[in-house]
């Protein structure tokens, strides 16, 4: 399968001016696709291409593609994929991920040949992150045979699909190797160009924390299927913080800033390079998230969403056929809303998930259609119109996620240094810190629905909230636990949420034998019958036998 096994020509970077500062947004770097041969590629120059590609793709996956599944957002136009999981086109393709893995394999090989332990360790973390995403999304996939076409054996052109179990346990082992390679003091590593590392500015200690925190993510991913293995792994990491340091503050989070120089290196919903503004305009807050944030007076709502421009109000004293705007409020007579579901909240109104085959018409939008501006539903905040900004970051792994993983592990009764309550409250604090609202913590943590009640549902709900713009992780948690208890809307193509991305058509034809063999290991469900095995509602190994999420 040459489309992801041949080492591609790698986009290399040249320096602007005589030196580079430690900035993380790449404003002082340019891409040079024709600069150096693969054999002579500098690991530092490979690194930026890999990290920016990986960060941007993960952000697109989480903010653009999967926000609808976990009901953070809904689209009011071009919505079939986002709202209703009718996945076609780019979301089905793993080609970009294997593309970054090809380049990363070149980085790993050069680093190993040149004895560059920092770059070698980083390449293993990147490899684990990308293969972890691939198996999270598709299930069984090429792993042990992948990105090996340059070895010359024809079998690597059509690699076998490894089981999820092999991939998950393989990447956990690679993260353990990375932890060892990155265990020296930062100053002990050589040949590092700090600005080329757009995540951590060349700090091995932070990459080491990333490796161990990522291992926690995947141990918890396996917790319903391989409980003893997952428990032992998490307890081992937490028992020895000197040997296994983890992400424990917002300063250690895995973030990538956007340069904002052009459409390719900017926040995806920006209106700076999208003259039509459609990428921003069609995104609305989902009512599932809005309603819950309102119920618990969550300070993050005002950071993520805009208030409705023109609230609705139904007045029984108005004559029939009344629809008028008075003091910024649209006043309606009862007959105008008879039989129509509307939301008259005066501040925030979310778009119901999969609630209609014409979502742009929701809440009596006076201008429904592809280019409408609905004044009666909350848009995402104006910060998401910008190309870059302090809060506009690809969030690959947050301190809050680590805290909630540990809160759940402690809730399960596993042997950890602190209680579930401690980790849970720390997760909330770290999320509020990340979004600039830490001053609200003391009040927020005491509220009904937020004050700790020692339930898995509460831990996963706060983790779901904290995963705003990183929806992929909430989807993976939902599949594993059924929490939060999300429900498909009335217009969704199935009555349950999907649990995997189907293999793409070209994969089924080009690598047909191996793809079909992988599908013999997948489990059909009641909801996948119409699609046969290769369905978004078929259960991969991780979910088989768990009775989750449905």
- CA nearest to 517, candidates 506, 530, 533: 533
> 167 with 160: CB under 8 angstroms?
no
Same domain flag for 237 and 349? no
**Residue 16's pLDDT is what?**
29
- CA nearest to 311, candidates 249, 275, 363, 388: 363
> 175 with 215: CB under 8 angstroms?
yes
Alpha-carbon separation of residue 426 from 4, 24, 203, 236, 410 (angstroms): 41, 27, 25, 21, 13
Residue 9 lies in a domain: yes
Q: What is the pLDDT of residues 102-152, one digit of tens each?
A: 999 999 999 999 999 999 999 999 999 999 999 999 999 999 999 998 777
Q: How many CA atoms lie within 13 A of 298 on its CB side?
A: 26
**346 by DSSP, 3-state: which?**
coil
Same domain flag for 121 and 253? yes
Same domain flag for 49 and 155? yes
Q: Count other Cβ atoms within 10 Å, centred on residue 83.
A: 29
Same domain flag for 9 and 116? yes
Beta bridge mates, 357: none
- Which of 334, 352, 380 is where one domain is finished? 380
Same domain flag for 248 and 296? no
Residue 129 lies in a domain: yes
* Pairwise CA distance, residues 281 & 373, whole Å: 7
Q: What is the pLDDT of residues 257-306, one digit of tens each?
A: 999 999 999 999 999 999 899 999 999 999 999 999 999 999 999 999 99
Q: How many CA atoms lie within 13 A of 537 on its CB side?
A: 19
Encoded tokens for 56: 């941007």
Same domain flag for 19 and 115? yes
Q: Count other Cβ atoms within 10 Å, centred on residue 194.
A: 15
Same domain flag for 227 and 363? no
Number of structural domains (the chain) is: 2
Same domain flag for 192 and 58? yes
Q: What is the CATH number of the domain that holds 108?
A: 1.25.40.390
How many residues does the structure list for the chain?
550
Helix intervals (H) in 147-226:
164-181, 204-221
Encoded tokens for 304: 């993520």
**Residue 12's pLDDT is what?**
36
Residue 508 lies in a domain: no
Residue 357 lies in a domain: yes
Q: Give the contacts of 295 (CB within 8 A, at least 6 positions apart).
A: 449
Radius of gyration of the chain (CA): 24
Residue 421 lies in a domain: no
Same domain flag for 39 and 172? yes
Beta bridge mates, 120: none
- CA nearest to 510, candidates 103, 157, 144: 157
Q: What is the pLDDT of residues 15-64, one digit of tens each?
A: 323 233 333 333 333 334 445 567 778 999 999 999 999 999 999 999 99
Same domain flag for 332 and 234? no
Range of the domain at 217: 2-258
Residue 134 lies in a domain: yes
Same domain flag for 172 and 213? yes
Residue 393 lies in a domain: no
- One DSSP character per residue, 446-499 reads TSTTTS----HHHHHHHHHHHTTT-HHHHHHHHHHH--S-----TTSSSSS---
Question: In this model, does residue 387 exceed pLDDT 70?
Answer: yes
Same domain flag for 81 and 114? yes
**Residue 36's pLDDT is what?**
57
> 285 with 73: CB under 8 angstroms?
yes
Q: What is the pLDDT of residues 71-113, one digit of tens each?
A: 999 999 989 999 999 887 667 899 999 999 999 999 999 999 9
- Which of 241, 258, 275 is where one domain is finished? 258
The β-bridge relationship of strands 73-75 and 283-285 is antiparallel
Mean pLDDT over the full length of the chain: 92
DSSP class of residue 394 equals: E
DSSP class of residue 6 equals: S
Residue 210 lies in a domain: yes
- Which of 380, 402, 424 is where one domain is finished? 380
Q: Distance between alpha carbon 46 and the CA centroid of its chain, in Å?
A: 24
Task: Print burial letters for 456-493: b (CB count within 10 Å at least 16), e (below 16).
Answer: eebbbbbbbbbbbbbbbbbbbbbbbbbbbebebbebbe
Q: Distance between alpha carbon 292 and the CA centroid of its chain, in Å?
A: 21
Q: Give the contacts of 275 (CB within 8 A, at least 6 positions apart).
A: none
* Mean predicted confidence (pLDDT) in 195-210: 98
> 128 with 121: CB under 8 angstroms?
no
Q: Distance between alpha carbon 542 and the CA centroid of its chain, in Å?
A: 19
* Pairwise CA distance, residues 58 & 351, whole Å: 24
């Amino acid at each position: 399968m040459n489309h992801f096994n041949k080492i591609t020509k790698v986009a290399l970077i040249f320096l602007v001016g005589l030196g580079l500062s430690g900035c993380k947004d790449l404003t002082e770097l340019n891409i040079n696709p024709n600069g150096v041969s693969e054999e002579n590629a500098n690991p530092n120059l490979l690194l930026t291409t890999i990290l920016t590609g990986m960060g941007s793709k993960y952000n697109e996956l989480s903010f653009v593609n999967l926000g609808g599944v976990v009901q953070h957002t809904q689209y009011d136009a071009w919505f079939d994929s986002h709202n209703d999981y009718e996945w076609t086109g780019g979301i089905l393709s793993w080609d970009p991920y294997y593309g970054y893995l090809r380049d990363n394999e070149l980085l790993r090989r050069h680093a190993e040949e040149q004895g560059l332990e920092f770059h070698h360790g980083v390449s293993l973390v990147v490899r684990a992150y990308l293969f972890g995403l691939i198996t999270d999304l598709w299930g069984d996939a090429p792993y042990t045979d992948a990105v090996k076409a340059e070895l010359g054996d024809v079998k690597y052109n059509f690699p076998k699909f490894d089981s999820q179990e092999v991939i998950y346990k393989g990447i956990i082992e690679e993260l353990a190797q990375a932890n060892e390679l990155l265990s020296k003091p930062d100053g002990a590593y050589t040949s590092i160009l700090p600005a080329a590392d757009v995540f951590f500015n060349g700090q091995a200690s932070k990459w080491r924390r990333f490796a161990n925190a990522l291992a926690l993510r995947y141990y918890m991913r396996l917790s319903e299927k391989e409980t003893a293995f997952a428990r032992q792994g998490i307890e081992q990491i937490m028992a020895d913080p000197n040997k296994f340091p983890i992400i424990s503050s917002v300063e250690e989070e895995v973030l990538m800033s956007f340069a904002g120089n052009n459409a390719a290196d900017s926040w995806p919903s920006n209106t700076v390079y999208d003259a039509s503004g459609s990428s921003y305009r069609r995104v609305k807050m989902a009512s599932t998230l809005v309603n819950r944030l309102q119920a618990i007076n969550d300070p993050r709502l005002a950071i993520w969403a805009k208030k409705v421009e023109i609230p609705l109000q139904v007045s029984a004293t108005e004559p029939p056929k009344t629809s008028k705007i008075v003091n910024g409020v649209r006043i309606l007579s009862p007959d105008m809303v008879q039989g129509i579901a509307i939301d008259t909240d005066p501040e925030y109104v979310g778009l119901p998930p999969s609630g209609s085959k014409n979502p742009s018409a929701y809440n009596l939008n006076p201008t429904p259609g592809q280019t409408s501006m609905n004044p009666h539903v909350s848009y995402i905040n104006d910060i998401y119109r910008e190309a870059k900004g302090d809060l506009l970051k690809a969030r690959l792994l947050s301190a809050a996620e680590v805290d909630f993983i540990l809160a759940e592990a402690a809730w399960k009764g596993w042997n950890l240094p602190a209680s579930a309550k401690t980790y849970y409250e720390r997760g909330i604090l770290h999320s509020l810190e990340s979004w600039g609202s830490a001053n609200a913590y003391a009040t927020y943590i005491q509220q009904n629905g937020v004050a700790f009640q020692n339930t898995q549902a509460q831990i996963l709900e706060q983790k779901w909230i904290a995963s705003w713009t990183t929806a992929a992780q909430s989807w993976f948690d939902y599949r594993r636990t059924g929490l939060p208890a999300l429900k498909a809307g009335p217009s969704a193509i199935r009555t349950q949420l999907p649990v995997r991305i189907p293999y793409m058509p070209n994969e089924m034809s080009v690598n047909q034998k191996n793809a079909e063999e992988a599908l013999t290991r997948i489990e059909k469900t009641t909801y996948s019958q119409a699609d046969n095995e290769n369905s978004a509602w078929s259960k991969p190994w991780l979910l088989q036998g768990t009775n989750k999420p449905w």
